[in-house]
A and B are shown apart, each in its own frame.
Chain A
Amino acid sequence: MKELLKLLKQNSRLSNGELATMLGKTEGEIANQIKELEAKGIIRGYSVILDEELADSDVVSAYIELKITPQPDRGFDEMAKLISAFEEVESVTLMSGGFDLGITITGSGLKQIASFVSQRLATLDGVLSTRTHFVLKRYKEKGILIQDDPGDERGVYL
């Protein structure tokens, strides 16, 4: 299972047949394992890694640090779930250290993100403060390089 997940993390578009070949299993076994991983909620979905700038040059992303007041009984969960429900929000993580929730968001311009933060996030009950960092350039995401292929430096010296 571990090897299967490793391969899927590298490229989730590998077919069951290809995965089976590489792992020395049958296609049926792979299909069952994936079904099981999905049923257990270990695999939550499949996405794509884009060079956002190439896909749409107007797109802007931001990383937002949020400090919030934990609620009695539920801690940070309630607020995290509430924020996760916003469609613009791409990721929500509870952090240790100087702030509580880390949020990534992608929008079609600075203004859109600014208004989301000021009108929807900052106004939530329990949000103490926000800090917004705009993404200038992406180099790597989920293990995938968002850079030009450096080419093969290896020569054939023998």
Chain B
Amino acid sequence: MAASDHIVGRGPNAGARVFSGLMPRAEAVAIPLGALLAGFLAFSLFLLFLGKSPAEFYGLVWKAGFSSAFSWQNTLSRVAPLIMAALCVALPARLGLVVIGGEGAIVLGGLAAGVTGTHVAGPLGMVLMALSAMVLGGLWIGAIGALRIKRGVNETISSLLMAYIAIALFNHFVEGPFRDPGSLNKPSTAPLDAALRVGEMPFIAAHWGVAAGVIACVLCWILIDRTTLGFAARIAGDNIRAAQVQGLPVGPLVIGFTALGGAWAGLAGFFEVAAVHGSANASLIAGYGYTGILIAFLARHNPLAILPVAVLMAGFEASSGLIQRRMDLPDATILVFEGMVFIIILLSEALYGRLRIFSPGYWESR
């Protein structure tokens, strides 16, 4: 009582109190946004160095990604696999694991969906396809978590290497045992029945994977922020030893979270097969798993933040073509752009807790 009187008494105005409560929360928004802006600025310098106009660049990004109904269609139609791939990074990251091999779970999920799809029918068949994709993706990334816990294998290295194995296995099965004999020059699994294809959502010209991605993010946010399981996972992520001393089930948590992340990535593979390609083939290996890493880090592994960041990233990628055509820049331009933003975001991690304006004490002392 006396202490709070003391603080209020020293503050020159009531606003300071509001700031002292608000600013620590604002930190989580202001630093990533600031880093994003710094990334835009750094890339502008890069463009000026090349003799190109940054204004034209950002204008085209806006035009191609966000300016019209068609732009939004272009952006949203790419977003579903990105959201799910990002969850495959974000969930293990909450336990302190850096898993970068989501691509493997996506292609294996696609394979499982494609193969299951040739044996089932009807709406239940579609559910089975999705489940098989989630199970295989979950097993694949869950195994990485298990290797980490049981054998101390570095999950970053093992997930990356296992992604290569997954792609090799995928190619083997698509070109060998599960090849549709009719797919002569592009080995694929048998084409899916029309009843097993996922359609487009009403109002937005994007398939139902987008809705599934939004639901997945909300579920994961509830899991992490609103359940005791999520609380235990966050404790283990902050300090694994302390969590073990407290008797938290660190092993099952790690395996469970990695498996869940893998299951979402597997579901991305299912939607790619059932909504876009209509069969599993090498076109599935499109690098979504790697863009997902960038999105998860930008979102600071917060499932809800993944949604806007994934839309932003999809918009950037949607503009890649227009930038090639209008500015005569190579297609790698957008990758350089994303890379610069990514590095600055990583650097900005060092700022948390260091900027005095975000500490309650700074405002209280005014």
Q: Do A and B come from one complex?
A: no
Which B residues fall within an 8 A CB radius of A?
A: none
A interface residues with partner B (beta carbon < 8 Å): none
